[in-house]
Amino acid sequence: MKLNSLNIKEANEGLKKKSFSSVELTKACLDQIRKLEGKLNAFVTVTENEALEQAQEADKLISAGQDLPLLGIPIAIKDNFSTLGIKTTASSIVLDDYIPPYNATVVAKLKAAGMVLLGKTNMDAWAHGSSTETSDYGSTKNPWNIKYLPGGSSGGSAASVAADEVIAAIGSETAGSIRQPASWCGVVGLKPTYGRVSRYGVIAMGSSLDSPGPITKTVEDSALILEVLAGVDENDATTSPLPVGNYSQKLSKNIKELKIGISEEYFIDGIDKEVKEMVEGALKKFEKFGAKIENLKLFDPKYAIDVYTIIQRSEVSSNLARYDGIRYGNGRDYFKDEAKRRIMFGTYALSSGYYDQYYNKAQKVRTVIIDDFKKAFEKVDVIIAPTSPSLALPVGATKDSAMFGEIADVLVEPSSIAGLAGINIPIGFSKSGLPIGMQIIGPQFSEELVLSVAYEYEKLTQVEKWRGLKPNL
């Protein structure tokens, strides 16, 4: 097995046994990046020299008996996380030459855990989109078929994990931007509860929605990273003081005690037939091993599009106001069309005479969505649904589609709006060879439960042939 194809658990074991070094592991990833970047464009910046120096230091610490959860593990970070001394662009030329003077809390925690930083991954500019096609540095391609999109906005992170360019990556989700690209690229994507992971140092898109989280090859890897990232942060007042769980140590769960909720509203008109059939097949597997499936009547997810569009655009208009070309970055004339549209929409929604009509009403409907989920979780433990209504779409699918992102994320937007915990897990492939994902949604701060249910499904399907498939690049 090639070193770059290992997951975190396997890499950790190999490093501790001295089967290979962190330098060798890092070089294997860098070789894969050099080999594939001309096709994938998953990275904005590759930090080769810094990564090799960090790997050398990690090998010294390992030899000295140091034990850190991610010591010597090569990881990539989405390019909207501030990295000390390393260019951070949010994939916008407005920040083409911006070098932050500090690390985001997520980056600081990963470095303290021993991470080797391979670089910064491509994304939709300012995280505005669900395809990575709005990146000012060119679209990322899907490793399973480079004529298709990887999803977004964390498309570069998801593609780099699927293509074994990295051992794991970090993304951020505002309304599906971890789970949707993870679904289209066939990897695991964990969206923690809002406030479980600090937003400090993340270039803000929707401040009341943004949730950093891991994109990994296995559920256990996501649990390991969440243990590192989660927790209160004095620099982010929205982080929760609730204790961080031992997520990776509590993955096993008795499925016979599990109540799974499903809602026909999440199997919307126009959903891809293969996606629908694959999710229904996964539910039957759970049922076969003792889980109870209960039908729910959930608030129609189409209403989340309206709520998200108004709230997110309003917060965008506020957050992007700081990029005026005076303190840092280029001038506002460098903004591309998508950013301009969102700024104008949000400014209008917040303007005098329209605030109550739009923004205030959207917040009231948001509360209705939150309450709807609370009632559902009084009856069931988790809710399972398709992550995306479609398979990965062809490159160019977003052209002339101003609402592409909202439509592509329709099934994940409600749980993001409600600040819930959710995870995408791969459940197979279409006849055309494109990945299909399924999401597991839990109440706020139910990461332990969501991860354990995902882990059990991973175990149930471990011997299935599709589990060993890799992109042919």
Question: Is the distance from CB of 89 to CB of 134 less than 8 angstroms?
Answer: no
**Interatomic CA distance for residues 125 and 462, integer angstroms:** 36
Catalytic annotation on 78?
yes
Which of 153, 248, 388, 415 is catalytic? The answer is 153
CA 424 to chain centre: 9
Q: Are 309 and 276 in contact (CB under 8 A)?
A: no
**Which of 339, 345, 300, 333 is CA-nearest to residue 320?**
339
CB distance 213 to 199 below 8 Å? no
- Two tokens, residue 7: 């997951």
User: Which of 21, 177, 240, 446 is the catalytic position?
Assistant: 177
**CB of 438 closer than 8 Å to CB of 425:** yes
How far, in Å, CA of 450 to CA of 445, rounded? 9
Q: Which of 21, 22, 78, 154 is catalytic?
A: 78
Give φ, ψ of 211 to 5 degrees: -140, 105
String of DSSP letters for 355-377: TIIIIIHHHHHHHHHHHHHHHHT
Q: What is the DSSP secondary structure assignment for residue 79, as one 8-state letter? A: T
Residue with tokens 């001038």: 331
The answer to whether 160 is a known catalytic residue is no
Q: Is 177 annotated as catalytic? A: yes
Residues with catalytic roles: 78, 153, 177
